[in-house]
Structure 1
Amino acid sequence: MQNIPSTLTDWLALLETMHPKAIDMGLERVAQVKDRLDIRFDCPVIIVGGTNGKGSTCAMLESILLQAGYRVGLYTSPHLLDFNERARVDGEPASDQVLVEQFAAVEEKRGDVSLTYFEFTTLAVLRLFAQAKLDVVILEVGLGGRLDAVNVLDADVAVVTSVDIDHTEYLGETREQIGFEKAGIFRPGKTAICGDPVPPQSLIDHATAIGADLWLFGRDYNYAGDKQQWNYGGRSQRRNSLGYPSLRGANQLLNAAAALAALEALRHRLPVGAQEVRNGLVMVDLPGRFQVLPGRPTVILDVAHNPHAAATLAQNLKHMAFHPYTYAVFGAMQDKDISGVIAQLKDLVDHWCVTDLPLPRAATAEQLRQKLLEAGVAPKAQAGSERTIQTFSSPAEAFANARSRAGENDRIAVFGSFLTVAGVMEARRAEGLS
């Protein structure tokens, strides 16, 4: 490359255009450059995949291990506001300067190997972690598992949080097909944890075929609790009198139990005390996962963008206190099961503010409006109901409209694509709000 970028912004803009395909599944090219960069880890590596819940599980693992005094590297994607969110060392996002240095190193070594944005940035973050003298590395799978760039490393513990229908063009159209792809992060002789209460047979069969040590929820580990506290029970370890995770939502105990199973599997290499677990769960923070913001009207941010996540969001909304009206700020990618998302939430929303998103593959606000009409969500003028559907050119505009109409006892649920939530967060940040 003739002109090496000097800023993170310029690097990211360049990486968007360097490879002919945005998503190009396969490990051969990534493995080649990884070997040239001599990326290796002496510390435990935890890889977390799944349709939903992987970000929450990673966040809980990081929080608990930091409380235990370990040096932790955490890689997640996508980001909400700043790319730096993807690479965290000791709980802090990597600086622009550090990332620029790593990007330059990858560029120097890749030669004629073409890499996607995700592959290139993954290698840069892995090299950063390899140089950071960490005690543990936690990596979130980007897409699927078997052919995801993160899977270029061998996990000491691999966690699959849930298996549901998403990214069908890459992973298959059934839970069995998708389960096989997710199980691709498992390794022979290593711990493989599945947090899905109804695991696909393909996942179990693959773990058995390669000789992974499979831990199934309900068989090898479990949880029980009441309104005040909960308990974890594993193969050889119990954790009693635990406080609920600060992450809100119906599935967070499933995610927390999977995280504790991973820690149980690593207990001889990374011992963690009871109080450190309690503190870690209470202090964990992950924006955009059923995040209820302070103030009135109530605002909920949730990156639910597939039917499984939307069903969880619906369950969480039902468990909230009474609100006279619910406004939805909704934007989504065209390749998502938009009708499936709407089906889960249409009975809970009174006023829809649907929005365009700044990506070519995003569904337009008008397309979302049509999907709502097809689902039987009709504006007042057509059906005599109190429901409304309005279209907007940006999440910020949609949110401003919802906020202008909502009463102080109402609620606004912002959900769908990460870009929807990020657009509203950016607008709030510009106003000086959290």
Structure 2
Amino acid sequence: MTYQDALDFLYPLHRFGIRPGLERVFALLDLLGAPQKRLGQVVHVAGTNGKGTVSASLASIFQASGRKTALYTSPHLVDFTERIRINGVQIPRERVVHYCSLLKSAVIDNHSTFFEATTAIAFAWFADEGVDVSIIETGMGGRLDATNIVDSDYVVLTSIGFDHTEWLGGTLALIAAEKAAIIKKGCSVFTAVSDPESLRPIRTMAARCDAPLLSSVTDAVCRVSAREPGMIELDISTVLRRYPALKVPLTGFFHASNVTLAVMVAESAGIGAEHISLGLERLLQTGYRARLEKIGVSPTVLLDVSHNPDGIRETVNTLCSFRHCYHQVWVVLGLASDKDAKAVVRELLRLNASFVVVPIPSERSASSELLCSLCQEEGAEATVFTNGREALASLRATAGDDDLILVTGSFYLAGDIIASGI
């Protein structure tokens, strides 16, 4: 089996779609010797938005402290191996081949999903490499997510919003309950959730599990002392100490609550201020990309993976603070068919932008024609291009030097742009 053979085996597993449940992933892990029991300290991260920021921040901080740190995230942008890293290094392709060879028959027999197979590969490699700590992102929800077979030392619940409602429920309380189900007996829980409807089931689950609950809203104070495109400086005070002048190479003050969560977890794990500061400065070395990432100048081009109304709202809020710097704003937009397109478009309209609508490179892509019509119905100027690469190339050739081009709406779209090298 070659690496391409392994991918050709894994990717078609998407045909099984989303199938919540833990029995199939347990079967795969049993075949590999139960690696989920050999992951070192485990930080399990769930939430509608912000998982990537918290996970990357924590991975970088733990690495800076000298601990061998595993990081499991999804989806990837360009290559499958991005999902599975130790100390920032992606899993070698030959190890993907090795674990695929071991799992292939069981995956076929059990009708395992892509995410279940990927989770088994990640946990097997982490265990075989003897990691000290594992930062594990949920794929979707929590209760029946394939990652919910770990015994967590720390649980982080970032935010609760409307996404994947067909699986998680149509109210914030139901969605929060699904995500809070990753809380385990005696673990420490950290959350940025503040609205009562979402917080109630989190508190209930934490109490049921005798798990102490800390909030970045009530148990810490974070001030953004400086911000500019590509860098924020935070002053964070927890119940134990103050962390002044933390430099974080991100754009947008909305990252502050997620970085605060990471600092609180790191502090609880006994990591000192020097390593916390150093880890945050090195955040991008974890492979964290496409969060309002500047990939071009004259015109400015920003690449962003926000893909639901709450995430887009935070992106737009940030860009509104810089809007006066740009003459015209262009939005290259591609969405999956299960997203609330109208809510996304209405948020983006606050930028007074012109839209270029494209399909995302996925069978789950929303119709470009329907999305374009929606933009026009909402009063925006909108056109359709065949793909994001052509749209961006055309805009770069025609937009003014003082214009802004925002490419947003999907991990798939961002990954295609990165892969193109445009």
Does residue 22 of structure 2 align to residue 27 of structure 1?
yes
What TM-score do the two structures reach when normalised by structure 1? 0.90
Query: Secondary structure of 1:300's match?
Result: strand
Residue 104 of structure 1 is matched in structure 2 by 101
Q: Separation in 1 of the partners of 2:55 and 2:64?
A: 14
- Cα deviation for residue 336 of structure 1 reads 0.3
Q: Separation in 1 of the partners of 2:350 and 2:234?
A: 32
- Cα deviation for residue 225 of structure 1 reads 4.6
Deviates more, 1:39-48 or 1:225-234: 225-234
Q: Separation in 2 of the partners of 1:349 and 1:415?
A: 15
Equivalent position amino acid for 2:23 in 1 = E
Q: Number of paired residues?
A: 409
Equivalent position amino acid for 2:304 in 1 = D
Q: Separation in 1 of the partners of 2:177 and 2:95?
A: 36
Residue 150 of structure 2 is matched in structure 1 by 153
- Superposed counterparts of 1:21-420, under 5 Å: 21-38=16-33, 39=35, 40-41=37-38, 43-107=40-104, 112-198=109-195, 200=198, 201-227=200-226, 229-235=233-239, 237-267=240-270, 272-285=271-284, 286-320=288-322, 322-377=325-380, 388-420=381-413
Deviates more, 1:277-286 or 1:404-413: 277-286
Q: Which runs of 5+ in 1 are unaligned?
A: 1-5, 378-387
- Cα deviation for residue 223 of structure 1 reads 2.3
Deviations 1:25-72 (A, max 9, x none): 111211232223221226101111111110011111111111111111
Equivalent position amino acid for 2:274 in 1 = Q
Q: Separation in 2 of the partners of 1:330 and 1:341?
A: 10
Q: Separation in 2 of the partners of 1:142 and 1:10?
A: 24
CA distance change for structure 1 residues 413 and 111 in 2, over 3 Å: closer, same or farther?
Answer: closer
Equivalent position amino acid for 2:7 in 1 = L
CA distance change for structure 1 residues 426 and 406 in 2, over 3 Å: closer, same or farther?
Answer: same
Deviations 1:349-403 (A, max 9, x none): 43211002232221121011111123222xxxxxxxxxx3110111111111221
Query: Secondary structure of 2:217's match?
Result: coil
Query: Secondary structure of 1:150's match?
Result: coil
Asked if the contact 2:358–2:385 (Cα under 8 Å) also holds between the matched residues in 1, the reply is yes
What TM-score do the two structures reach when normalised by structure 2? 0.92
Q: Separation in 2 of the partners of 1:42 and 1:67?
A: 19
CA distance change for structure 1 residues 19 and 330 in 2, over 3 Å: closer, same or farther?
Answer: closer
Q: Separation in 2 of the partners of 1:42 and 1:16?
A: 26
Equivalent position amino acid for 2:40 in 1 = C
Asked if the contact 1:102–1:125 (Cα under 8 Å) also holds between the matched residues in 2, the reply is no
Query: Secondary structure of 2:297's match?
Result: coil
Deviates more, 1:245-254 or 1:204-213: 204-213
- Cα deviation for residue 110 of structure 1 reads 5.2
- Cα deviation for residue 313 of structure 1 reads 0.6
Asked if the contact 1:197–1:217 (Cα under 8 Å) also holds between the matched residues in 2, the reply is no
Query: Secondary structure of 1:296's match?
Result: coil
- Cα deviation for residue 265 of structure 1 reads 2.2
Deviations 1:297-356 (A, max 9, x none): 111111111000010010111122510000111100111011111111113143211002
Query: Secondary structure of 2:24's match?
Result: helix
- Cα deviation for residue 19 of structure 1 reads 6.9
Q: Which runs of 5+ in 2 are unaligned?
A: 228-232
Q: Separation in 2 of the partners of 1:262 and 1:69?
A: 16
RMSD between superposed Cα atoms in Å? 1.8
Deviates more, 1:418-427 or 1:310-319: 418-427
Equivalent position amino acid for 2:409 in 1 = G
Asked if the contact 1:296–1:408 (Cα under 8 Å) also holds between the matched residues in 2, the reply is yes
- Cα deviation for residue 231 of structure 1 reads 3.1
Deviates more, 1:16-25 or 1:250-259: 16-25
CA distance change for structure 1 residues 369 and 19 in 2, over 3 Å: closer, same or farther?
Answer: closer
Deviations 1:235-286 (A, max 9, x none): 4x3242232311221221101110111112222xxxx222221121122112
CA distance change for structure 1 residues 324 and 258 in 2, over 3 Å: closer, same or farther?
Answer: same
Q: Separation in 2 of the partners of 1:186 and 1:253?
A: 23
Asked if the contact 1:234–1:264 (Cα under 8 Å) also holds between the matched residues in 2, the reply is no
Q: Separation in 1 of the partners of 2:234 and 2:358?
A: 40
Equivalent position amino acid for 1:317 in 2 = L
Residue 381 of structure 1 is matched in structure 2 by none
CA distance change for structure 1 residues 254 and 124 in 2, over 3 Å: closer, same or farther?
Answer: same
Residue 12 of structure 2 is matched in structure 1 by 17
Q: Separation in 2 of the partners of 1:174 and 1:402?
A: 39
